[in-house]
Structure 1
């Protein structure tokens, strides 16, 4: 289950950024992850919830996951197209000379924090 490793890195980065900003609590994280990473969305949520459980800084934080569909460009005809993980051939010219341009992402899009009253 590599989702636990992914979410450990995400939580560590989000907590670091939240604490650097002087946050009292982390409320939420929005993550974009490509389908080609083969991460399972339900497993990401499970891992996030497990990592947050029992930590007052993280308890109740929400995870939003945006799954990014694979998109490639054909190096023969220039067509750009979405596809699944298994069908990489160009639908316009049937070439196998393609380049993946989206679908391997793993990025934190945003974090939401609770700032202490001053």
Structure 2
């Protein structure tokens, strides 16, 4: 379950930010999760609520922002929406595509006190 390590990494980022910026409580954390990142959102929510227990983010609400997948075809150069990593180019049918968006996971914003 890589969601546990993701939650632990998120907590590390939050705690480092708290030390640098001097906030004492995190109310909300917004996380951008790409459709192609293979993250199970419910599992991430559960893991996050577990790892933040007893920390500055103890009562933080985790808000997930979905980022759609996009690719660029190596053969024709077409950019298109994709829903899985190995979708074919909708323009030419080629399976040689490069993901250009949708595999990222990042904290985009935090509401703190």
Tell me whether the two structures share a fold, i.e. TM-score over 0.5.
yes
Matched, 1:50 2:50: yes
Q: What residue ranges of structure 2 are gaps of 5+ in the alignment?
A: none
Change (3 A) 1:98 1:86: closer
CA deviation after TM superposition for structure 1 residue 87, in Å? 4.4
Which runs of structure 1 show a deviation greater than 3 angstroms over 4 or more consecutive aligned residues? none
Cα distance in 1 for residues equivalent to 2:105 and 2:58: 23
- How large is the Cα RMSD of the aligned pairs? 1.5
Q: Which residue of 2 aligns with 1:14?
A: 14
Query: How big is the shift at 1:108?
Result: 1.1
Distance 2:29 2:69 in 1: 22
Q: Which runs of 5+ in 1 are unaligned?
A: none
Give the number of equivalent residue pairs: 113
**Per-residue displacement from partner, 1:94-118 (whole Å, max 9, x unpaired)?**
112211101210111011210xxxx
Cα distance in structure 1, aligned partners of 2:62 and 2:93: 39
- 3-state secondary structure, aligned to 2:36: helix
